Amino acid sequence: MTTTDAGALAPAPTQRKRPIGLLLVAAPVLLVLWLIIWPIISAVIQTLWLPTSDGGRALSVSSYEFFANDPYSRANLAITLWTTGVCAIFLLLICLPIALYLRFSNSKIAAYVQGLAIFPMFVPSIILSFAFIRVLGPNGTVDLLLNSVGLPKIKSPYLTPWGPVIGLVWDNIPLTVLILLSGLGNVSNQAIEAARDVGAGRLMLFWHIILPRISNSILVAISFAVLGIFSAFTLPYVLGPAAPEMMGPFMQRTFRDLFDPTNAITQAVITFGFCILFGLFYVRSVAKNRTP
């Protein structure tokens, strides 16, 4: 789709297909083949082609059977699915109103709101975790303030499944808002005004004019968030409960603490399986926006 563009850009007739380009791009491309493509293929092979008792290897799904029959693994998968779903819903409920407000307002306050919504991008998640514990943890700031006005302490979300949810939503607000805002750029002011002229209310306007035009951006934002949250490690590891744990900490513990790479890689392949549709959709959307 882009060779014609490149042809049009090429200034001199000498710029025909020359293998020297291949040489220049070889190093990063080989790195992608070695450290992305090959590990994925190898992970699938390694978990299906297992060592047998007589020293050889044979095709077997026993590591997947173990995962499917192990109540602890299943509980971890369930908490991961729950966290991802809840985070996706909260992200939409929080970010869509912010993005709509930013699209249709141009007051000074809007610039401040936009700055704040993007700010978490510049706060590493490990600092966020620490701030979370200091504010919502036991004897944190919220407890201090409640105590000072004579109210009982909160039931802290720290080390409960809600801990990672709050952290991950906080962390994902900036990109979700930016992607939705970019989608809202496709909604023309004329379309809005035309609908207003024929008497459409705010809700009608949102449902019939805005939503159809940004549905693709919503899907992109959700896909991006799901890919990041499903195998998130730092926030669930620091803020979440010890058991059941999300897939990220679970894989890390299986790999490094239990020295069981086969089962860790099986868990990784299972996360690939759950995210593959989101991943392909996301990559397709990014590629569509970019031509080399």
Partner 1 sequence: MSASLKVAQPVDWTGIVFAVVLTLVIVAPLLVVGTWAFTNVWRFPSVIPQEFGLKFWYQTLARADVWSSITMSLTLATTVTVLSAIICLPAAYAFARLDFPGRDILFFSFLAGHAFPKFGLLVAIAGIFLQLNLIGTFWGVVLIQLVGTLLFMIWIPVAAFQAVDRRMEEAARDVGASPFRVFWSITLPQAGPTIAAALLLSFVGTFYETEGAWLIGAPQVRTLPVLMISFINNQPVIQYGAVLSVLLWVPSFIALLFARRVVNSGSFAKGFGG
Q: Which residues contact 136 (CB under 8 A, 6 or more apart)?
A: 142, 154, 156, 157, 158, 166
Q: Nearest distance from residue 234's CB to partner 1, in Å?
A: 5
Q: Name the residue nearer to partner 1 (CB basis): 132 or 162.
A: 132
Q: Nearest distance from residue 75's CB to partner 1, in Å?
A: 18
Helix or strand (DSSP H, E) at 133: helix 125-136
Torsion 271-272-276-278 (CA) sign: positive
Q: Name the residue nearer to partner 1 (CB basis): 161 or 172.
A: 172
Q: Nearest distance from residue 69's CB to partner 1, in Å?
A: 21
Q: Name the residue nearer to partner 1 (CB basis): 75 or 192.
A: 192
What's the rounded Cα separation, in Å, for the pair 175 and 92?
12
Which residue is associated with the tokens 């090429």? 10
Q: Nearest distance from residue 136's CB to partner 1, in Å?
A: 8
Q: Which residues are registered as beta bridge partners of 57?
A: 51
Among 145, 143, 151, 129, CA closest to 237: 129
Q: Nearest distance from residue 59's CB to partner 1, in Å?
A: 18
Contact 266, 63 (CB under 8 A): yes
Contact 114, 195 (CB under 8 A): no
Q: Name the residue nearer to partner 1 (CB basis): 84 or 161.
A: 84
Q: Name the residue nearer to partner 1 (CB basis): 165 or 178.
A: 178
What's the rounded Cα separation, in Å, for the pair 162 and 136?
11
Q: Nearest distance from residue 253's CB to partner 1, in Å?
A: 11
Which residue is associated with the tokens 């035309």? 194
What's the rounded Cα separation, in Å, for the pair 98 and 105?
10
Q: Name the residue nearer to partner 1 (CB basis): 161 or 177.
A: 177
